[in-house]
Structure 1
Amino acid sequence: MQKAWLEKTQERVQFTSSVIASMRGVKVMGLESRIQDTVAELRSSEDIAAAKWRLNILMGVGLSSISVEASKWLTFILFVIFSYIKHRDDGQVMNVKTLFTSLAILNIVLGRIEIVIQSIPSIVNAFGCLVRIEEFLKNEVKPHENLPVPRKVESLELTTEKMSLMHDHSRESDSGSMEMHRMSLSSHTSFGPIIRIERLSAGYSQTYIPILRDLSLSIFSGQMVMITGPVGSGKSTLLQTLLSETTIYKGSVRINCPNGVAYCAQTPWLVNKSIRDNIIGVSLFEPEWYKQVIQCCALLKDLESYAKGDQTLVGSKGIGLSGGQKQRIALARAVYSRKPILILDDIFSGLDAATEEHIFTKLMGPKGLFRRNGNTVVLATHAVHHLPFADNTLVLSTEGSIQSYETSELPRTNSGLAEIFKYANGKESFYPDEGDNSLNDIDFDSDRETLHEHKPHEEPQQLQKWNSGDETSQSGSELDAFKYYFKSIGWQHSLTFGGLAIAQSILWNALTIWLEHWSSDPDPSKTVFYMSVGKISYFNTTDVGIITNRFSQDLVHVDMDLPAALINFVESGLMVVGIIGISLVATPWIAIMLPPLSICFYFVARFYLRTSRQLRILEMEAKAPLYTHFQETLMGISTIRAFSWEREFQDENDKLLLTSQQPSYYLTTAQRWFAMILDMVVAVFAFSIVLLVVYLRHMINPGLIGLALLNTVSLSSSLKILIVFYTNLEISLGAIARMREFNQTVPQEDDGAAHSAPAPEWPSRGNVIYRNYAASHTINSDIVLKSINLDVAAGRKLGICGRSGSGKSSMITALFRLLETQGGSISIDGIDISKVSPRILRGRINILSQEPFFLAGTIRENLSYACVSDQHQLYTEELLRALEIVGLKDKVLALEDGLDSELDLDGFLSHGERQLFSLARAILRTSNIIVLDEFTSSVDLETDLKMQRILREHFWDKTILTVAHRLNTIVDYDTVILLDKGNIVEMGNPQELLQRPGSAFKALYDVHEDTSSGSV
């Protein structure tokens, strides 16, 4: 039963985590209500499973308690019966000495037996955990294949043409440039290729059809090889195979580079440290080399814009950076590592034309850093205009095959690519000469040598907000937490619990009361916490892990730990009161000893609680870096293995693990000290009672004396249990306090309840008007849009362009009410959107963004998010029709469960196919306004054209607002606007602007043409 409960909990946490990580997508699609309903259903299923387990535990605990108490009664009943039969003539059935000695022994023995019985479920659960750990440890260990030893596989006879890329460049050495450390590359060349793939077929698991089939190729030292092909052809899969991250069905892969390679993934991986830490990794800090890398990766202006420079923390998953900044920092890490081999996956996607030109020139141009230092570069890219500057080009097909071309052969041998290189052929002068940009404006700290020798730096205010909700927050008094908890479960349940606890305490002490009377006279007679939907600014500035913990770790404390801790604490407290009360009634003289006992206990308990509380907080704080390190390692495992940084990360994990265990050890020591001191205090108290009894032996009933001593023996263990359960309760109360703080302090959006809802068909036309609109990301932040005036007529097409940071995405974000309005208004079909509920507004607009939106679940469920509620069900035929339009139907139906298969993004959909999937979902949503936010930035030219065709066929009569880096996609629009620093600097018909001398749009378009003419 507990396994079923944990499975339901895991299902809820997995879904909730995916929602939190994709909160922006949830909001812009207007799915808040639907997501809340789904979470509530998962929570309800979890509660049902938990209730069954709790009922089982209740029965177990109840039976064990009943059996223990019944054993005492039964023992004395049988003793009385047999004693009466044996001694009925002399009348000596039982004396006081035998009575209370026997009961004391029974209490000690049966108490331990009860603990053993109640521990059985935990022991069984522990063995279940050990079994899962054992199964994990028995998994096949991933071999380190980046060694000069070919992978051992079964020999297969294949008739596959072997293609060798044997183009060795003669490179000039610039004496003034900094040489990257080389791994005896000349020796590699003399022995053979540095990368060799033979008869390879690979994919992501045995259940999928191989993505790569029968590939063979060789890459030699110093070559620059570019890989291109349509979406889903296996470009990223080929790079992952070079890193040994895929399943190899047959064939072999060898990289002759023992110390690993540099890898930059298509989705950047960053850790929650400073920008410098992310670039350096585990390498030594070399100031001059670091400066050159910063310049080559176009990070100079970005660092100048931060008050802390390169010491600015990036946040969890780089939450404090833009997409382009994250990509360039990841690229800088690869360059800084000085690895002789670099594997780069679509590093130019999402970069504007000027930035892309700068990076390509500095790194891969004829005089670029890679050429000067003789690096071997393998680049997968959709930027086919760069292909003429590669030594060799690999063209992948959707069937998994590969063709190899030398650059000079491309236009002649592949007519599809001939037009692309018409402009770029022979234009070495296309790349400007490298300038020596001054780097003196950046304050580079050069006084540290390794990653582990960082000097502490002040945390930026932005990151202080990210960390403001960590697990150590108490947020008010424990009394407030108690009130919040009991209010949540209802006062009726609270009063019932209190009454049952008192009754249980009375029954627990009933036997001792009855025995005292017998010795004097020989003739015997629903908790639910809902997820709050806050403003997007809160989710943008708060660590995802902190929010996730509110619905995972804290709810575990509330569900599992709090009920048991509360019950045990109340029970122990009532028992202590009962013991002291019975002792006072039996022997009032004991009251003389209570004041010194209470004072002593107060100071001991106060000292212990203050110490244990701080140790528990330290324990939780020490675990947070361990969990963070584990999560970051898991997310970047392919990058870590590629760089051969496993040992460094393992050492860091060991260090954090050791640190996290120290507070636990000190806490255990403090608990042992407290138990010893408490035993000594109670022993003094018991000794005092004995002295008092001896002195007053003629004035006190022997039975009452025995009752007092018996309860004194139980007092020590009861007090210790009371304090232990109180400390456990404190942890759970901390979780309650954090949940309460979350629900009360997260800024809530205006739900529009004060305004009437628009008509169901709104917006029927799609007329969008910005009137003197100004906005910022948060109430107190800088204004990002300034006095925007714009009228987009119904059915017209608007293109939005500008350099990075100009406010393009903010224009779109404002339309969904995700910014703080600082002036003016936005209206749709004559209705001010500030008067419309955000959920209704977002549900009436269709959006396709650069980062596709997915949640944990099946393919059918993710497609069905086209609807904002479950009331409108999409038929299977509709879903398949949408998938057929974008070309994914056959791939989905090839799965065993088809639409009901779990959506595995890593193994099933490439990055480009995820965009196609989002386009299929957009087709299923009915709306007269379509928003495209750099939607095609990560796809190849052919897929881009396909998407544009689908958009024109299915949304030709809709109002379309497009943010574009590829300006060729908006040259046929009705209107384009050019933004700069939040202002519209130019607006008009794109064809007219291109003919206008001095046009800013024309200048930006010309830069784009110069750098990516092949894609036009």
Structure 2
Amino acid sequence: MRTMLRSILVTETFITATKARIGTNNDSAALTLMSTDIERIRMGFRQLHDIRASIIQVALCAWMLYRDLGVVFLAPIGLVIICFIGLAILMNFIGAAQRRWMSLVQKRVGLTATITSSMKGLKISGLPSSVGHFSQKLRVGELTAEFITPLSQIFQNIPKVISALACIGRIQAFMEREACDDFRQFSATFEKGNEKGSLGSILLDDAEVVIENGSFGWAQDKFILQEIDAKIPKASLTLVVGPVGSGKVTQRTRAPHVGFCDKSAFVLNESIKENIIGFSPVNEDRYNEVIKSTALVFDFDNLLQGDRTNLGSDGISLSGGQKQRISLARALYLQTNFLVLDDVFSGLDADTEDQVFRQVFRPEGLLRGRQTTVLLCTHSVQHLQVADYVIALEGGRVTEQGTFDSLMSGNGYVNRLELKGSSESETVSDGSSIQNIPNESSSPAGIVKAVKPTIAPDVDPSRQVGDGTVYKEYIKSMGWLLAGSAIFFSCLWGFFLNFSTISRSSAYWASFYALFQICALVSLVLLGACIWIVSIKRAGTNLHDDILKTLFRAPLSFFTGTDIGVTTNLFSQDLKLIDTELPDATVNTLFSITQVIGQMTVMITSAPHLAATLPFLAVLLYVLQNFYLRTSTQLRLLDVEAKSPLYTHFLDIVRGVTTLRAFGFIREDIQKNASLLTTSQRPSYLLLMIQEWLKVVLDIIVMLLAVGLTTFAVRIHSNTAFTGAALYSLLSFGENLAGIVLFWTKLETSLGAIARLKTFNETVKPEDMDAEDIHPATDWPRRGVVELKGVFAKYGTNDHDGTASSFALRDIQLTIDSGEKIAICGRTGSGKSSLVALLLKPLDPTIATAENIFPMKAVFLPAGSTVQKNLDIDEKATPEECKAVLECVGLWDYVEKLGGLAAGMHASSFSAGQRQLLSFGHALLRCSVRQRKYGANEQLGGILILDEVSSSVDRETEHVMQEAIRTEFKNYTVIAVSHRLDMIMDFDRVVVMDTGEIVEVGKPPVLAQEAGSRFRGLIRAGNK
């Protein structure tokens, strides 16, 4: 039943997540429901049959007591009823406490998934320390909420069922959320006719899509696009342009069933070829045509595994431009005659952009030959003159539409762009021609080689049975004193519970029985306090802190070769085992051991001849538990590990659900989820089977002991009273011996979670060496001088190839003076990101925090975190400073509409350009806080590193950012990686890179006029 229940809940949760409305889909909520909530439901329903059987047993026992003792039987029954009343009162708080705890688990697991997929941006931004503190704070709050009612675990079955019901309530609430409704009508479902208002009468012969008076938005009554009237001609290239936040994103996602590219390139944690083909039929000719058109052939030739290279979590092994081209290639490979593309050129250098545009979109390109209708939303307005049709958006409304020449003759948005006419655009530059794509012997710098997705060595210590170091690790995490106290109180429990059953006089028994029972209960309470309140909170906090530090110190190559599901599993499933199953197994094992010791004393006193059987029984049980653990430990680890691909797939689907809906791949992904679910169920089901086998074998052993004792007592005619006492003790003794084996094996199995965390901490080596980090003064750097002399660098320390081609950076000679503005340019994969990584050493939080870095991809906290928290994660700025920064970047009006700084935010409620502006605001806020700290009169310098600062913004917003850089960072040394060359023309110098080397340095205006200059070639490519 539990296996079927998990299958149903996981499948329905997945389907619901694929139907969620864009902007309301919470990745962390769905992931936590699929992992932690469903596992707690399984644990709760595991006890369901025990509760039913216990009720029957209690009823039978009550009847037997009444038959032999009369109404006296009401005394123990009354005590049981009082306990149930107390438990019922306690249950009123358990459900609410469980829901509150699970919501905190949800936030923490969601943050962990965000951290893993955005680690490169976090490291570059210098945020690991701040985000780590925030995650640890969530963990502490989660553990505090979990143990509000800890002693209710004494009644071990009913609370687990109540917990399961609370989790079912959370899943039900998730499934009842508003789904994405598609109100669109398609011409295939209608007969063309003359009926007024019908779709057939609206569509024109030359139009693929027609919108009449349409309003669209992410939430009800909050329209971003208003009163839209637009048409998209068939077999043509239509460009949608407009400022940041004007509604271009909403415009393109309302298109029909099409090939689609999001602005934030969506790639799966699979090979490049699998990403491009997806669930489409394999056609090698079409595939080769697509990768050639998107200029991916060069990149494949220089990857160790070519197009079979695994991309890692969120494509961390590739540059932003490479991910964009893979996303575009996937759309081009799809068998469709309609494409919707959202700013697919962001992150591409001018040279590569020109080549891709020419081979895909121009009249001689791939799509024109296929007669494909293309809707392209872009900030690369230099391509407007090639478009057949242009739609301009401002303020969520269509301000103008038509051909490029007709719009240029007007006074609207397109005319204000001051572009050349279409007749001028066909002029091909001479002299400084566009730099050709490097030959195949060249190697692109900055590509991290993907490795096998694993976190453990070939011989995994976590799979060893009976590893004493794992026990030591667990005890160390909770503290030796606390562990000793738990053992001491469990011994007291066993002593007081059994001491009173030793033969005594009636007067002695009557006077001390109550005292011993009270002492036993006090010992039980103290043991529960040690295990369920103090030790688990301490162990859970310490273990989470250890793996979080290991995660942040891991090199980028780890995230390239490790599935996000593997890492998320450590922070969800393994920590769940440590918080729930491990303490239960620990307490029950201690209970059983102390009970057996006490009952052994009673048995030997009552029937001394039984002592001869104890060594044989101990050997039998030892052999049995060894035989069982050899299989159960492996199955438990396989159970946990088999869920990692399921979680990886789920996170990928939730992140790219818009793309998958457009492609029509949702049905196939549901089938893939079912296949992964079936695979993950196998070890779980087998583990349940061998657990039942163990219970049956232990029951048989107890039965044989009882039969043997009865036979022996009858044969020797022993004292009936002592024989009865011995038989009763033997049955309890046998059950507790079986309990030792059962709970000890469960303890060993649950300790596999500790072993996995221990293996993770030991095998994931930090990139920095011992004593390598230098901790400069808090006001460093005050001047911002950068000097590189003869630097060679490469990714990974396991690559022993010392040839020049194995280095990502080769012989870098560069000196940057204080306050100088330097631009770094070059083709995608030329080494720009590698140079930034070299300057930062991304894993070093000290340098990244001291400098001010603006990464290409903005990083946000889980949904529900406030705008102020996302802007000021360090919590060092005042609300006034946050507001001033938002006003500076032009986002305050939008944030104010959302509810102000205290409003909860979801990253999807901001456009890509707005997210980039918010990230830029974070850099401005750091500068403001730093200046306030040392005084307004102090002329502080520093280093500002900008990685594609304007890749997703329009030209007007780009000018705003340029002005902010000139004014707010006037004393800073600025190092900017940029593909938009018009932004850097006023910089002091430009550094042009190619295949990991600096090939040209000079002043931008001078190089732009110099014949044969690489920089001039890039400019001409961008102006085409």
| TM-score grouping bracket, smaller chain normalisation | 0.7 to 0.9
Q: Is the 8 A contact 1:189 1:220 kept in 2?
A: no
Give the aligned partner of residue 96 of structure 1: none
Match of 1:54 among 126, 130, 150: 150
Q: Is the 8 A contact 1:365 1:431 kept in 2?
A: no
Match of 2:811 among 787, 790, 799: 787
Offset of 1:519 from its aligned partner?
Answer: 9.3
Deviations 1:415-465 (A, max 9, x none): 653464415436457599xxxx99x999xxxxxxxxxxxxxxxxx983325
The 5 A counterparts of 1:168-567 are 193-206=207-220, 209-242=222-255, 255=256, 260-414=257-411, 416-418=413-415, 420-422=418-420, 424-425=422-423, 427-428=425-426, 462-464=450-452, 466-468=454-456, 474=462, 478-511=467-500, 513-514=501-502, 516-517=503-504, 526-527=538-539, 528-529=541-542, 530=545, 531-532=548-549, 533-537=552-556, 540-541=559-560, 542-567=562-587
Following the alignment from structure 2 to structure 1, what is the Cα–Cα distance between the partners of residues 745 and 418?
70
Q: Is the 8 A contact 1:201 1:213 kept in 2?
A: yes
The change in CA–CA distance for 1:387 and 1:472 in structure 2 (over 3 A counts) is farther
The number of equivalent residue pairs is 853
Give the aligned partner of residue 88 of structure 1: none
Following the alignment from structure 2 to structure 1, what is the Cα–Cα distance between the partners of residues 506 and 687?
44
Match of 1:641 among 614, 637, 661: 661
Offset of 1:149 from its aligned partner?
Answer: 7.0
Following the alignment from structure 1 to structure 2, what is the Cα–Cα distance between the partners of residues 518 and 703?
15
Which has the higher mean CA deviation after the structures are superposed, 296-305 or 622-631?
622-631
Following the alignment from structure 1 to structure 2, what is the Cα–Cα distance between the partners of residues 773 and 141?
54
SS at match of 1:771: strand
Return the letter of the residue paired with 1:802: G
Give the aligned partner of residue 870 of structure 2: 862
Give the aligned partner of residue 943 of structure 1: 957
The change in CA–CA distance for 1:668 and 1:766 in structure 2 (over 3 A counts) is closer
The change in CA–CA distance for 1:383 and 1:768 in structure 2 (over 3 A counts) is same
Offset of 1:220 from its aligned partner?
Answer: 4.1
Offset of 1:719 from its aligned partner?
Answer: 3.9
Which has the higher mean CA deviation after the structures are superposed, 927-936 or 38-47?
38-47
Offset of 1:546 from its aligned partner?
Answer: 3.1
1:574 has 2:594 as partner: yes
Match of 1:695 among 711, 715, 730: 715
The change in CA–CA distance for 1:763 and 1:952 in structure 2 (over 3 A counts) is same
Return the letter of the residue paired with 2:242: G
Q: Is the 8 A contact 1:915 1:935 kept in 2?
A: yes
Give the aligned partner of residue 887 of structure 1: 890
1:18 has 2:114 as partner: yes
The change in CA–CA distance for 1:844 and 1:273 in structure 2 (over 3 A counts) is closer
Give the aligned partner of residue 908 of structure 2: 906
The change in CA–CA distance for 1:322 and 1:750 in structure 2 (over 3 A counts) is closer
Following the alignment from structure 2 to structure 1, what is the Cα–Cα distance between the partners of residues 188 and 896?
37
Offset of 1:151 from its aligned partner?
Answer: 12
Return the letter of the residue paired with 2:888: I
Following the alignment from structure 1 to structure 2, what is the Cα–Cα distance between the partners of residues 617 and 188?
60
Offset of 1:473 from its aligned partner?
Answer: 6.9
The 5 A counterparts of 1:771-920 are 771-781=789-799, 782-818=806-842, 838-856=844-862, 857-865=865-873, 870=875, 873-896=876-899, 898-907=900-909, 909-920=910-921
Return the letter of the residue paired with 2:852: N
Taking structure 2 as the reference length, the TM-score comes to: 0.77
Offset of 1:282 from its aligned partner?
Answer: 1.0
SS at match of 2:260: strand
Return the letter of the residue paired with 2:123: K
Offset of 1:565 from its aligned partner?
Answer: 1.6
Deviations 1:929-967 (A, max 9, x none): 211112112222222222212222322332111112122
Q: Is the 8 A contact 1:473 1:734 kept in 2?
A: no
Unaligned runs of 5+ in 2: 1-96, 191-196, 431-435, 442-447, 513-537, 800-805, 928-940
Return the letter of the residue paired with 2:568: T
Say which structure, 1 or 2, has more relative contact order (CA 8 Å, 6+ apart): 2
The change in CA–CA distance for 1:716 and 1:262 in structure 2 (over 3 A counts) is farther
Deviations 1:980-1001 (A, max 9, x none): 2222222222223334333333
Q: Is the 8 A contact 1:787 1:983 kept in 2?
A: yes
Give the aligned partner of residue 247 of structure 1: none
SS at match of 1:462: coil
Following the alignment from structure 2 to structure 1, what is the Cα–Cα distance between the partners of residues 959 and 660?
36
Match of 2:681 among 661, 677, 684: 661
Taking structure 1 as the reference length, the TM-score comes to: 0.78
Return the letter of the residue paired with 2:980: R
Offset of 1:317 from its aligned partner?
Answer: 1.9
**Bigger CA radius of gyration:** 1
Q: Is the 8 A contact 1:472 1:617 kept in 2?
A: no
Q: Is the 8 A contact 1:467 1:543 kept in 2?
A: no
Give the aligned partner of residue 701 of structure 2: 681
Offset of 1:409 from its aligned partner?
Answer: 0.8
Give the aligned partner of residue 930 of structure 1: 944
The change in CA–CA distance for 1:469 and 1:150 in structure 2 (over 3 A counts) is farther
Q: Is the 8 A contact 1:211 1:234 kept in 2?
A: yes
More helix by share: 2
Offset of 1:536 from its aligned partner?
Answer: 4.1
The change in CA–CA distance for 1:596 and 1:920 in structure 2 (over 3 A counts) is closer
Q: Is the 8 A contact 2:450 2:557 kept in 1?
A: no
1:615 has 2:635 as partner: yes
Following the alignment from structure 2 to structure 1, what is the Cα–Cα distance between the partners of residues 777 and 371?
65
The change in CA–CA distance for 1:522 and 1:266 in structure 2 (over 3 A counts) is closer
The change in CA–CA distance for 1:751 and 1:556 in structure 2 (over 3 A counts) is same
Q: Is the 8 A contact 1:774 1:785 kept in 2?
A: yes
Return the letter of the residue paired with 1:978: V
Q: Is the 8 A contact 1:262 1:339 kept in 2?
A: yes
Offset of 1:378 from its aligned partner?
Answer: 1.1
The change in CA–CA distance for 1:282 and 1:844 in structure 2 (over 3 A counts) is same
Offset of 1:743 from its aligned partner?
Answer: 3.5
Following the alignment from structure 2 to structure 1, what is the Cα–Cα distance between the partners of residues 495 and 114?
49
Offset of 1:380 from its aligned partner?
Answer: 0.7
Following the alignment from structure 2 to structure 1, what is the Cα–Cα distance between the partners of residues 213 and 188?
13
SS at match of 2:808: strand
Following the alignment from structure 1 to structure 2, what is the Cα–Cα distance between the partners of residues 553 and 469?
21
Return the letter of the residue paired with 1:34: S
Q: Is the 8 A contact 1:189 1:221 kept in 2?
A: no
The change in CA–CA distance for 1:1005 and 1:408 in structure 2 (over 3 A counts) is closer
Return the letter of the residue paired with 1:788: I
Deviations 1:822-849 (A, max 9, x none): xxxxxxxxxxxxxxxx444333322222
Offset of 1:762 from its aligned partner?
Answer: 3.0
The change in CA–CA distance for 1:598 and 1:753 in structure 2 (over 3 A counts) is closer
Return the letter of the residue paired with 1:860: Q
Following the alignment from structure 1 to structure 2, what is the Cα–Cα distance between the partners of residues 966 and 803?
12
Deviations 1:460-513 (A, max 9, x none): 9833255548999717653111101111211111111001111222233345x3
Deviations 1:238-275 (A, max 9, x none): 11223xxxxxxxxxxxx4xxxx3211111122222222
